[in-house]
Chains A and B, each alone.
Chain A
Amino acid sequence: MDRFVALDFDRHKALRVRTDGWRAAPGGMVGITPLEFRSVVAHYPIFLRKDAETGWFEAGALLGFEPDENLFVDGDRWDAGYIPLNSRRGPFALAPSATNTGHNTILIDPSDPRVGEDSGEILYLEGGRPSDYLESVVTVFKDLVDGGAAGLAYTAKLAALDLIESVRVDVQFADRTSTNLHGLYAIKSEALDRLSGDHLAELRDSGFLEWIYLQRSSLDRVPGLIARRDRRSLARLQTSR
């Protein structure tokens, strides 16, 4: 985070940000909020992982099998009908405001490869009003903040009801290589089946039940992810011949 500085009209009015530079977006697993589940479930497997600072569970969409692998980026194109909010935040980050308690401020990493002065979206209009692009970034962060609070409530309830289990993901690829993913968690189906009526009603009323089923069904996206990796390996092989 050291590279990030608070976004400031005077300092950053000349900057432009390329929005097609997906290669710079993080790969592996990207944090998502339950408010995204409905959109995410069509494309990505959803797992839970633990936050390294708190040990609390957070949801994430799997984009690839290596920490930096993103199997959805094809050149400058993101090959899926929905892009997770955290992948759309570009070179920006959010931090609690130093001057305005209780509010957040947007930071930018000026050294990010997507940031320059020649091409891409402008950040500010004449006079300092934010551009449509910057407004869209603000909306992304607003959705992340709202969804993040919902996500904490959701995973805390899952943990309290003992609905989370550690899973081992062992993957075999067509080229006979394999990998296994550690530190992932999923919905414990048999615990869900044993849940009392009261607890089920509580989950339904809070909206969590839908998220649980969305999250569970998203695991059907794992074979598709493996297929993406196999296609990529095959393409690389054919190019090198």
Chain B
Amino acid sequence: MTTPYAGRIVIVGGGTAGWLTAGIIAAYYRTQDAGGLSVTLVESPNVPIIGVGEGTWPTMRRTLQQMGIAEADFLVACDASFKQGSKFIDWTTSDRQSGDVYYHPFVAPAGFGTTDVASIWAAGPQALPFGDAVSFQPAICEAGLAPKAITTPEYAGVANYGYHLDAGKFAGFLRDHCVGSLGVHHIRADVTAVEAGPDGDIAQLQLDGHAAVTGDLFVDCTGFAAVLIGKHFGVPFKSVQDQLFIDSALAIQLPYNSPSDAIASATLSTAHPAGWIWDIGLPTRRGVGCLYASAFVSSAGALAELSAYVGSQGPPLNDGDVRQLSIVAGHRETFWVGNCVAVGLAAGFVEPLEASSIIMTELAAQMIAGQFPARREAMAIVAKSFNGLFLKRWRAVVDFLKLHYLLSRRTEPFWVTNRQSETVSDTLAERLELWRDRSAAIGDFAAADDIFTAASYQYILHGMGHAVDPPPWAAHRLDGSAAAALFRDVTAMRLAMPQRLPTNRDLLARIKAYGLQKV
């Protein structure tokens, strides 16, 4: 006998993860039309949104477009700007005079997939930094230029881009769209009890001042509280603090000195003796934060680092403006148990070095939507593949972040300890062994598991001066002439782009005034 279809999805938690998951699933199934699959989001009226993620990957363009959102509406409502990658300062040697700056741009290296440009560059004279040799994007970021023009259609780019955004505004914007256009049911109430059925599945949630809500799949987006996956199911949290030492943050919002100040088109990441400082430019403010490992520096020391950073570039810092956050780097051992799946901070969190938080939420919600089991019997099969895939993805995130520390030559205890072999995963150690003789290659990665591709690894490896010592028999493949035309094209693009692209600030102002066309 076949059991009935089971299409009631209940999401608990109304932050970025909750509303993003609701929107992705609701848009995928056109929940606003009659048809059966329902999405309900239960949001506590009392729990504030953490809003840690303020940087997205380029994938967010497609995510928003599929939800039926106009890009201009999103940009204006979420105080968003264009992100074209990350700029790392002082990560390798902390000697800024020697130019310790490199980019991890969103545009893949020229010829990526057809020519091993990275190995060729590494074996060549290295006349230009790797990022500049293989991509025009670092130069346009340096110039404060936007990745597109006012005549470029919405969601299309001259250069690949994601966003910087105000996470609090983003959650509210998604909520309005989910409820107003996508047919998501919204319940504002605290969960008072989680009631399990005889099979151990969650049967319903008791709510404060509201009728209980029943469902077939419950998505835990309750953040660090992990009300369902942690408190109810008791799934252990796997700390990765043996690999990533950052455990604290001091965050602050800063106004621009002048309304005409450039809006940075990359996330700025500046290393300090016991961590690093993020700097994200939105149209109306900057978000700056000092991440640190409390085993290596006191909170007073971290505040001094933050003050020194801000002091050199902005108005004076008031202690009251600084928000202190604790970070427990790690993830669940399993993410999907019975009829409950954890997404967002409830699933895992690492320091925001490569904007992994929002992308992991997008990937989880896309998999839930795309593989949503129509009947309860099928759920265990999807859960098994979800758990396997996301465990690999979280490990891949940890490895990629660790790479940034491993390649550093800084000498402070935090950095030296970061390079000790017992703090590095076997996978990463093995890959670095491979990359002593050649650069990272597409074949080193499994597309679905490794959310960071060989392109990203190449930018970090060669941005941080990783040496490659190819065997003599590779010489004919590393002949620079094979890539000469590619390098010339990049140079031509780098010279042409400033005539084609406005500044970030100019374009964002135009979009606010005139919108963006769909075609």
Please indicate the chain B residues that have their CB under 8 angstroms from the CB of A164 in the complex.
Answer: 517-519
Please indicate the chain B residues that have their CB under 8 angstroms from the CB of A189 in the complex.
Answer: none
Q: Report the tally of A-B residue pairs with Cβ distances under 8 A.
A: 36
Asked if A55 contacts B518 (CB within 8 A), the reply is no
Q: How far is the CA of A183 from the CA of B153 in the complex (A)?
A: 11
Asked if A55 contacts B517 (CB within 8 A), the reply is yes
Asked if B151 contacts A52 (CB within 8 A), the reply is yes
Give, as a whole number of angstroms, the nearest-CB distance from B184 to chain A: 25
Asked if A185 contacts B519 (CB within 8 A), the reply is yes
Q: How far is the CA of A23 from the CA of B518 in the complex (A)?
A: 37
Q: How far is the CA of A54 from the CA of B517 in the complex (A)?
A: 10
Please indicate the chain A residues that have their CB under 8 angstroms from the CB of B515 in the complex.
Answer: 55
Give, as a whole number of angstroms, the nearest-CB distance from A181 to chain B: 15
Asked if B518 contacts A54 (CB within 8 A), the reply is no
In the complex, B510 has a CB within 8 A of chain A: yes
Per the 8 Å Cβ criterion, residues 224-271 of B in contact with A are none
Q: How far is the CA of A163 from the CA of B321 in the complex (A)?
A: 49
Please indicate the chain B residues that have their CB under 8 angstroms from the CB of A52 in the complex.
Answer: 150-151
Q: How far is the CA of A51 from the CA of B510 in the complex (A)?
A: 12
Per the 8 Å Cβ criterion, residues 145-204 of A in contact with B are 159, 162, 164-166, 183, 185
A28-71: CB near B (< 8 Å → 1, else 0) gives 00000000000000000000001111111100000000000000
Please indicate the chain B residues that have their CB under 8 angstroms from the CB of A56 in the complex.
Answer: 514, 517
B368-383: CB near A (< 8 Å → 1, else 0) gives 0000000000000000
In the complex, B516 has a CB within 8 A of chain A: yes
Asked if B519 contacts A55 (CB within 8 A), the reply is no
Residue of B nearest to A54 (CB): B514
> Interface size of B by Cβ–Cβ distance < 8 Å?
12
Please indicate the chain A residues that have their CB under 8 angstroms from the CB of B517 in the complex.
Answer: 50, 55-57, 159, 164
Give, as a whole number of angstroms, the nearest-CB distance from B360 to chain A: 33
Q: How far is the CA of A57 from the CA of B516 in the complex (A)?
A: 11
Q: How far is the CA of A53 from the CA of B514 in the complex (A)?
A: 9
Asked if B519 contacts A54 (CB within 8 A), the reply is no
Residue of B nearest to A165 (CB): B519
Asked if A183 contacts B519 (CB within 8 A), the reply is no
Q: How far is the CA of A187 from the CA of B138 in the complex (A)?
A: 38
B489-519: CB near A (< 8 Å → 1, else 0) gives 0000000000000000000001001111111
A159 touching B518 in the complex, CB below 8 Å, given contacts A54-B510, A55-B510 = yes
Give, as a whole number of angstroms, the nearest-CB distance from B127 to chain A: 34
Q: How far is the CA of A183 from the CA of B149 in the complex (A)?
A: 13
Q: How far is the CA of A81 from the CA of B149 in the complex (A)?
A: 38
Q: How far is the CA of A50 from the CA of B510 in the complex (A)?
A: 14
Asked if A183 contacts B151 (CB within 8 A), the reply is yes
Which of A50, A166, A183 is most buried by chain B, counting CB atoms within 10 A of its CB? Answer: A50
Q: How far is the CA of A52 from the CA of B519 in the complex (A)?
A: 15
B132-171: CB near A (< 8 Å → 1, else 0) gives 0000000000000000011110000000000000000000
Give, as a whole number of angstroms, the nearest-CB distance from A189 to chain B: 14
Asked if B151 contacts A50 (CB within 8 A), the reply is yes
What are 19 inter-chain pairs, A to B, with CB distance below 8 A? A50-B150, A50-B151, A50-B517, A52-B151, A53-B150, A54-B150, A54-B513, A55-B150, A55-B151, A55-B152, A55-B514, A55-B515, A55-B517, A56-B514, A57-B517, A159-B517, A159-B518, A164-B518, A164-B519
Given contacts A52-B150, A55-B151, A159-B518, list 20 more A-B pairs with CB under 8 A: A50-B151, A50-B517, A52-B151, A53-B510, A54-B150, A54-B513, A55-B149, A55-B150, A55-B510, A55-B517, A56-B514, A56-B517, A57-B517, A159-B517, A159-B519, A162-B518, A164-B518, A164-B519, A183-B151, A185-B519
